[in-house]
Amino acid sequence: MPAETLTFRTLSGSAMDRRPIDLRAVVIAVWTSRDPSGRDLRVAEMEAVGIPRPSSTPQFRRISTHRLTSADAIEVVGAESSGEVEAVLVRDGRGLWVGVGSDHTDRRMERSEPHVAKQMCDKPIAPDLWAFDDVADHWDALMLRSWIVEHGETRLYQEGSVAAILPPGELMRAFTGREDLPEGTALYCGTFAAIGGIRPSSRFAYELFDPQRERRIVHAYDVVALPAGI
């Protein structure tokens, strides 16, 4: 099975390390809202841009490991792609980690082929991870935020607590049948609605904030649209 090796800064307690992690599976969880109102809002948001209502929730999309990147820029085809901030669970030989990433997706393709759409764009992930055990007891307090550039100004695009998303244990159990992930797996945990609706941007910034420990993981990337033809 092809693997992608990324180097992360890991923080467990007060111990910081820099280590490569071999990732053999990258999975995108979709339609993961915890409460019915949040799920209905997310469904309405997606339907507004032509993406069909799901037959069941949650769902999981497996993508190529080579799509995972911590680069500060990605290339996309066309002008109809956008990012969305998500907590990311990463399992290696030392245990379970949590980070933050962006499920950047081609929205035009998502209208007709949602599985293919997930494969068409790189999946950014911040190069920092926290030990899951360090945040498990206050998981619902964690905050996700993202920003886009619109009309030359940086605007808040998403903001909310991970309490809006299904708990990690429930997501892992839905995917694997147990509250854990196979070693070498990264699981994007899903997102919530954007402020003002889904739209593209030439830059996407995002963070995971822990108010109890007063720390954050931040990352950003430029979106470079390739020409449709030459």
- What whole-number distance in Å separates Cα of residue 151 and Cα of residue 11? 37
Q: Which residues pair with 103 in a beta bridge?
A: none
Could you tell me if 67 and 119 are in contact, meaning their C-beta atoms sit under 8 angstroms apart? yes
- pLDDT of residue 5 exceeding 70, the answer is yes
Structure-token match 């995002």, residue found: 206
DSSP run (H or E) holding 117: helix 114-119
Q: What share of the chain is helix, strand, coil (3-state, %, to 5)?
A: 20, 45, 35
Residue 98's CB is within 10 A of a number of other CB atoms, namely 24
Q: Give CA 16 to chain center in angstroms.
A: 23
- pLDDT of residue 149 exceeding 80, the answer is yes
Q: Which domains does the chain have, with CATH numbers?
A: 4-224 (3.90.850.10)
Give the model's pLDDT for residue 114.
82
- What whole-number distance in Å separates Cα of residue 198 and Cα of residue 204? 13
Read off the pLDDT of residues 175-217 as tens digits, 9 standing for 90 and up. 999 999 999 999 999 999 999 999 999 999 999 999 999 999 9
What is the overall mean pLDDT for the chain?
A: 93
- pLDDT of residue 44 exceeding 80, the answer is no
Q: Which residues pair with 149 in a beta bridge?
A: 154
Instruction: Decide which of 38 and 163 is more confident.
Output: 163
Could you tell me if 90 and 98 are in contact, meaning their C-beta atoms sit under 8 angstroms apart? yes
